[in-house]
């Protein structure tokens, strides 16, 4: 049996950072499967330099009817391509999209008979104490992510005050008394992801389609932009959950990562198209689409068209 470790957590909590930590430390032979809610593969491009064996599935949730067929095919492909008697796999790390309900993986493995090949070894959830106490009251899948977990990383403790961290830990302990809770900065933690079976009964219903709580917009930024003006516009977007991707400025390519409480932008050496993904509340979809249209029209270009 090939052990699976599922990494969950809401948009911007730090899942990709955790995967980078795992990739840099692990000497075992692993495959990473990255699922992105947005249409562009941002996290996969970031991880490519750290991870030799990586499969990206952007464009929805692997536990939604819209993408589950591709997810099943990817798991079959991983087994066929990477797991041989001579060079067996030590495990597969799956980064689920930030809105996923991880309970579905148990049902999916059973129904497809992939449970003859794979076994869920552990589930790790990453939570942001600056947003978790509110999100857990409004988005059911956030509760499911924590409830199923063996480990819960309360991340970004350097950005949150002690009361917010303590409140988050109290809520996590109530939801998942079985979980080991770790307070982390940049997901710095020592986890043995494949040490034992998760021991959790996992069963849930596939989402039938896109979640109306979320609006996602993808835009290809074809020209160099005034990055400070663009960041200010993204940060001020009503209902923003996450904006991430790559844009070019006068100094080259930049990686952009914005949540409701942080703005990160730094030069990078990532090659390829400048893709930007915006995820906002469903009720604010028009505002997100308007901003994407303004980007396409060149309103943030260094040299106006």
Tell me the C-alpha distance between 146 and 152, whole Å. Answer: 7
Are 255 and 269 spatial neighbours (Cβ–Cβ below 8 Å)? no
Are 130 and 159 spatial neighbours (Cβ–Cβ below 8 Å)? yes
Q: Is the dihedral of CA 134, 106, 72, 3 positive or negative?
A: positive
Structural domains of the chain in order of their starting residue, each with its CATH number: 2-183 (3.40.50.300), 214-297 (3.30.1220.10)
48 burial (CB, 10 Å; 0-12 / 13-18 / 19+) is: middle
Tokens of 98: 């930030």
Q: Which of 15, 56, 13 is nearest to 38 (CA)?
A: 56
Residue written as token pair 């000497």:
27
Are 32 and 54 spatial neighbours (Cβ–Cβ below 8 Å)? yes
> Residue 194 contacts by C-beta under 8 Å, 6 or more apart in sequence?
3, 5, 28, 90, 91, 121, 122
Quote the pLDDT of residue 36. 82
Q: What is the pLDDT of residues 218-238, one digit of tens each?
A: 999 999 999 999 999 999 999
Tell me the C-alpha distance between 276 and 244, whole Å. Answer: 6
Q: Which residues of the chain have pLDDT under 70?
A: 39, 48-52, 196-201, 204, 206, 208-209, 304-305
Quote the pLDDT of residue 304. 59
Q: Which of 81, 99, 82 is nearest to 90 (CA)?
A: 82
Q: Is the dihedral of CA 144, 101, 209, 17 positive or negative?
A: positive
In the chain, DSSP finds a helix count (H) and a strand count (E) of 9, 12
Are 184 and 256 spatial neighbours (Cβ–Cβ below 8 Å)? no
Q: Which of 61, 200, 55 is nearest to 122 (CA)?
A: 200
Quote the pLDDT of residue 230. 95
Phi then psi for 36, rounded to 5 degrees?
-115, 135
159 burial (CB, 10 Å; 0-12 / 13-18 / 19+) is: middle
73, containing H or E segment: helix 68-82
Phi then psi for 80, rounded to 5 degrees?
-75, -40
Quote the pLDDT of residue 196. 56
Tell me the C-alpha distance between 249 and 26, whole Å. Answer: 35
Tell me the C-alpha distance between 20 and 29, whole Å. Answer: 15
């Amino acid at each position: 049996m090939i052990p699976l470790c599922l990494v969950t957590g809401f948009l911007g909590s730090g899942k990709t950072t955790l995967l980078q930590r795992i990739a840099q430390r692990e000497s075992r032979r692993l495959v990473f499967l990255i699922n992105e809610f947005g249409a562009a593969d941002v996290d996969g491009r970031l991880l490519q330099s750290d991870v030799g064996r990586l499969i990206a599935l952007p464009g929805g949730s692997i536990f939604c009817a819209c993408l589950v067929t591709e997810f099943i095919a990817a798991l079959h492909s991983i087994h066929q391509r990477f797991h041989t008697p001579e060079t067996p796999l030590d495990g597969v790390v799956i980064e689920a999209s930030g809105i996923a309900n991880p309970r579905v993986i148990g049902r999916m493995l059973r129904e497809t008979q992939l449970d003859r090949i794979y076994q869920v070894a552990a589930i790790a959830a990453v939570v942001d104490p600056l947003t978790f106490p509110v999100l857990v009251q409004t988005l059911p899948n956030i509760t499911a992510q924590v409830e199923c977990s063996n480990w819960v990383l309360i991340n970004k403790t350097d950005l949150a005050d002690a009361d917010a961290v303590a409140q988050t830990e109290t809520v996590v302990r109530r939801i998942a008394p079985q979980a080991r809770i770790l307070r982390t900065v940049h997901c710095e933690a020592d986890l043995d992801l494949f040490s034992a079976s998760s021991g959790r009964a996992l069963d849930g219903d596939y989402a039938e389609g896109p979640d109306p709580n979320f609006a996602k917009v993808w835009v290809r930024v074809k020209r160099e932009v005034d990055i400070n003006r663009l960041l200010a516009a993204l940060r001020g977007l009503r209902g923003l959950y996450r904006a991430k991707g790559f844009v070019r400025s006068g100094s080259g390519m930049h990686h952009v990562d914005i949540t409701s409480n942080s703005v990160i932008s730094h030069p990078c050496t990532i090659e390829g198209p400048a893709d930007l993904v915006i995820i906002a509340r469903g009720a604010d979809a028009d505002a997100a689409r308007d901003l994407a249209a303004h980007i396409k029209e060149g309103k943030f270009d260094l040299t106006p068209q």
